[in-house]
Chain A
Amino acid sequence: MSTTAAALAPAHQRYLLEARQMQALSFAVHIPLVCFGIAFPAMVLFVEWLYQRTGDEVYRTLARRWSKVMLALFAVGVITGTILSFEMGLLWPNFTGTFGGVFGLGFAIEGFSFFMEAIFIGIYVYGWDRLPGRLHFASGIPVVLAGLSGSLMVISVNAWMNHPSGFRLVGGHVADVHPLAALFGNAYLWHELVHMYLAGYIVTGFLVAGVYAAGRLRGRWGRYERAALAIPLTVAALAAPAQVLVGDWAARDVAHSQPVKLAAIEGLARTTRGASEHVLGWYTDGRVRYGIAIPKLLSLLAFHDPNATVQGLDTVSASQRPPVNVVRIAFQLMVAIGTLLALFGVLYLVVRVRRKRLPESVWFYRALVAAGPLSVVALIAGWVVTEVGRQPWVVYRVMLTSQAVTGAGGIPVGYATLALVYIGVAAAVAWVLRRLARVPLHAAGGD
């Protein structure tokens, strides 16, 4: 039965770029919501735990209000996640049709994570004051765990696309398929998972803290607001410096497994011994112009040896290179924002440790308002590096994106429709979050 599997064939698609953009749009909408799925439940649970320890009503109010936001964002995450699973077939039927048997399992397990998350988020949010305290707290724990297992599964598929193994390709069919080895026996998985998981805490932490920072700038600053700001900010401030180290690890893994992606990230045209690192600048005619070159730094960072040889874009033909400037600028943007956020986090930690209070400068709070959106930009930029940097491959060195795409017509129509719907959803989410924020504190206890 395994040898008779039918295969689809590549089809010509005029609107390949639009198909890729439609997919990218759907990811860009979904990924920030994923961050909240990863990190927000843990923060809400921590606040509830504080309430159970201290009996302080402030924490109870805070946990209840946050859990409403958590539920609204999770609902939107369910639908944007559903769209992504549709697009696996709508846009890339030949990818799914050929390799579904290899990678599909990861999504199937992720489906169960999603279930557990959905079930217990329902019990948790609707169970306030209806379930006994300890039981209610316990009902939130599966939500946190499902956030971790869900991201493990999705990232395992992405890591497989970047570093495929666990199968052979014989005449367009997969053979010798070992799905567990393909998904979880992949060394490329771990840096991606840790990088994304930390990003979840950074984005959620800075965005949530940023809301209360904006409130402070307008004079809303009581015990409630201070707690609501300090808790997520402390998480993000600790995770941001750690993320710098994890990012460095990720880049070294990329250097080993995907040298062409690294060459695009750095704008390195020719294979070079003792390669320099270029900061800023624009890649054109085989070199980075207007950039600042730091000699030997690239070799040192990528291989821990200032004289190591770094492969250039010239190791593959021009048709097998990703668009250099897109990847390079996205990478620099991510690194720049990530570094700033790490420094900002350290600043906050120093004030907290040495002065045992929150910072007072109005500029600190202005920066905090900006940190949330900036962290989202860094998040998206990081995914651009991973995904655009893998182009023109959908499965690295196995299947081209142009071979994966659907042969169906009407992609521009679908793309435009989806973009309009997402604009509507974004407006709706903004409206509902403002509404939830405006409910007076004393009324937030009930619903």
Chain B
Amino acid sequence: MMHLYDVPLAFALVGLVLYTVLAGADFGAGAWRLLAGRGGVGERIRDHAHHSMGPVWEANHVWLIFVLTVMWTAYPAAFGSIASTLSVPLLLAAIGIIVRGAAYALRTGAQTPRELRAIDGVSAISSIVTPFALGAAVGGIASRRVPVGNATGQLFSSWLNPTSGLIGGLAIATSAYLAAVYLAADAERIGERELAQAFRARALAAGIAAGAVALGGLAVLHADAHPLYRALIRGSALGALISSIVAGCLTLMLVWRRRFEAARYTAALAVAAIIAGWGLAQHPLLLPGLTVAQAAAPHDTLIAIVVVVIAGGALLFPSLGLLFGLLLSGRLDRDRAQAPSGPTGRALLAASAAGLLGRGAAVALVMGVGFLTIAEAPWAHIIGVVSLCAFIVLGFAALAPTDAGLPED
């Protein structure tokens, strides 16, 4: 039975799944660039890894911000406890994100292979640090090492422990695996057989590694996080775990048979199931001694955040659908560029219209002074602000050069 206070947590977990399968693939692609090596094929691998992420990079990373904002709005005390005790791995993750993003921006200006290699090297290191640090932080929460309170947990052992090591390692392996599957699919789509072959091999290797870490990790959890282990092997959490194993095996099979497009989705499903399993195993406890119900913000806030997420989602998912639709159908590919169709030449703004606009701008400015500066009532201030905006817009319309050949003399 799901209560209102559980709903934002479910949203946050969905956000975490999407961050892992979308941004995780970006981090993994960074790691593959590091391992791509020199020479023609290495360069093409790196180039491919960058370009197939390009249009979606920013959107993928916003999922983390979504998770953070939902958590601190709906479960403020839990968020404060987690962030203050796990400050070290979170700062490491943050720095990794800065470096990754800066490298992404830098690549738009890079020209020589040497520059590209240097940028990819730096970015790849951060691509390993960030998933590990975030995974280690999750491990600290899952192994109950984050008590309620302002930095009341251990600064280091809260995230340097067997469970954190396991989940951090799993995050790296999963990222690499997802990236290889996606990149193989992209390469196949643009007809790069050789690249698809290269990423197929990587996907198989990383998939087996990720699966081995995940299964071997159960032994680590048995020893280090026994309550979590016990919860994972029963009930709905066990169902999620089995789904993950099935989806993982299915993905390997699909990759083996070069059905990359379908493998994209089963790979994402395998990762989603692990995160769902964690959530189910830990429920209803958020932190030691703090249930989800106890951590939840007041009723009005919960209603507001649920409404906002649903309304935002109604706007967001069609937009994301458009972006990924364009991306996956190849409409944003580099070789799709066409010569621009010549627009219909139209007459420029007539000079008399410009004069009229200029006078309108002057009137708006006078109104702005009157209503915003001299008058004191709030309603007058509204008129004043609108007038000032009108001044800027009308003035711009009157003065903006509509012919680039704006004469100098």
On A, residues with C-beta under 8 Å from B are 1-2, 4-11, 46, 50-56, 58-60, 68, 71-76, 78-83, 85-86, 88-90, 93-94, 96-102, 104-105, 107-112, 114-123, 125-133, 142, 174-180, 187, 190, 194, 201, 221, 223-224, 226-227, 230-231, 234-235, 238-239, 241-242, 245-246, 248-249, 304, 349, 352-353, 356-358, 360, 406-410, 414, 417-418, 421-422, 424-425, 428-429, 431-436, 446-447
Contact = CB atoms under 8 A, between A and B. Distances in A.
B336 A78 contact: no
Given A108-B305, A114-B65, A446 B59 contact: no
B108 A71 contact: yes
B350 interface: no
Interface residues of B, number: 123
Contacts of B378: 187
B106 A428 contact: yes
Nearest to B331: A130
Interface centre among A72, A117, A125, by most chain B C-beta atoms within 10 angstroms, is A72
20 contacts: A5-B294, A5-B297, A8-B148, A54-B345, A79-B98, A82-B64, A82-B65, A83-B97, A86-B91, A90-B91, A104-B297, A108-B69, A115-B66, A116-B315, A230-B406, A245-B388, A407-B84, A409-B155, A418-B95, A435-B109
A81 B94 CA distance: 10
Contacts of B381: 190, 249
B131 to A, nearest CB: 15
A4 B75 CA distance: 12
Contacts of A133: 340-341, 343
A417 B393 CA distance: 44
A66 to B, nearest CB: 13
B316 A112 contact: yes
A360 B76 CA distance: 58
Contacts of A53: 343, 346, 348, 402
Contacts of A114: 62, 65
B356 interface: no
Interface string B60-103: 01101110111011111111111111011011011101111110
Contacts of A5: 76-77, 294-298
A408 B85 contact: yes
A435 B87 contact: no
B170 to A, nearest CB: 22
A304 B326 contact: no
B261 to A, nearest CB: 21
Contacts of A421: 95, 98-99
Contacts of A360: 408-409
A101 B98 contact: no
A223 B405 contact: yes
Contact of B81 (A97, A174, A425): A97
A245 B343 contact: no
Given A79-B97, A89-B72, A304 B376 contact: yes
Given A85-B69, A86-B94, A360-B408, A101 B334 contact: no
B56 interface: yes
Contacts of B97: 79, 82-83
Nearest to B321: A119
A121 B101 CA distance: 15
Contacts of A1: 3, 5, 293-294, 296, 299
Contact of B72 (A2, A59, A104): A104
Contact of A126 (B332, B339, B374, B385): B332
Given A85-B68, A93-B83, A112-B315, A357 B109 contact: no
Where chain A touches its partner, the secondary structure class is: helix
Identify the 8 closest CB pairs spanning chains A and B, nearest first.
A89-B83, A97-B80, A104-B73, A100-B76, A101-B297, A435-B109, A79-B101, A93-B80
Given A93-B81, A98-B76, A142-B319, A249 B409 contact: no
A80 B98 contact: yes
Interface stretch (B236-244, B252-260, B365-373): B365-373
Interface of B: 3, 5, 54-59, 61-62, 64-66, 68-70, 72-85, 87-88, 90-91, 93-95, 97-102, 104-106, 108-111, 148-152, 155, 290, 293-301, 304-305, 308-309, 312, 315-316, 319-320, 322-323, 326, 331-334, 336-346, 348, 358, 361, 365, 368-369, 372-374, 376, 378, 381, 384-385, 388, 391-392, 395-396, 399-409
Contacts of B57: 75, 122
Nearest to B318: A119
Interface centre among B58, B104, B342, B405, by most chain A C-beta atoms within 10 angstroms, is B58
Contact of B151 (A2, A68, A122, A406): A406
Contacts of A132: 341
Nearest to B84: A93
Contacts of B66: 108, 111-112, 115
Contacts of B385: 190, 194, 246
Given A101-B297, A108-B308, A75 B400 contact: no
Nearest to B60: A118
Nearest to B337: A129
Nearest to B3: A1
B121 to A, nearest CB: 14
Nearest to B295: A6
Given A58-B404, A425-B102, 16 more contacts: A8-B148, A76-B101, A86-B83, A90-B90, A98-B77, A108-B308, A122-B55, A194-B385, A223-B404, A226-B404, A230-B401, A230-B406, A235-B392, A406-B150, A414-B87, A447-B334
Contact of A174 (B295, B296, B298): B298
A123 B298 contact: no
A123 B319 CA distance: 10
B149 A9 contact: yes
Contact of B319 (A76, A119, A194, A433): A119
A49 B245 CA distance: 52
Nearest to A103: B73
Nearest to B346: A53
A71 B138 CA distance: 32
A352 B340 CA distance: 33
Contacts of A357: 406-409
A225 B241 CA distance: 61
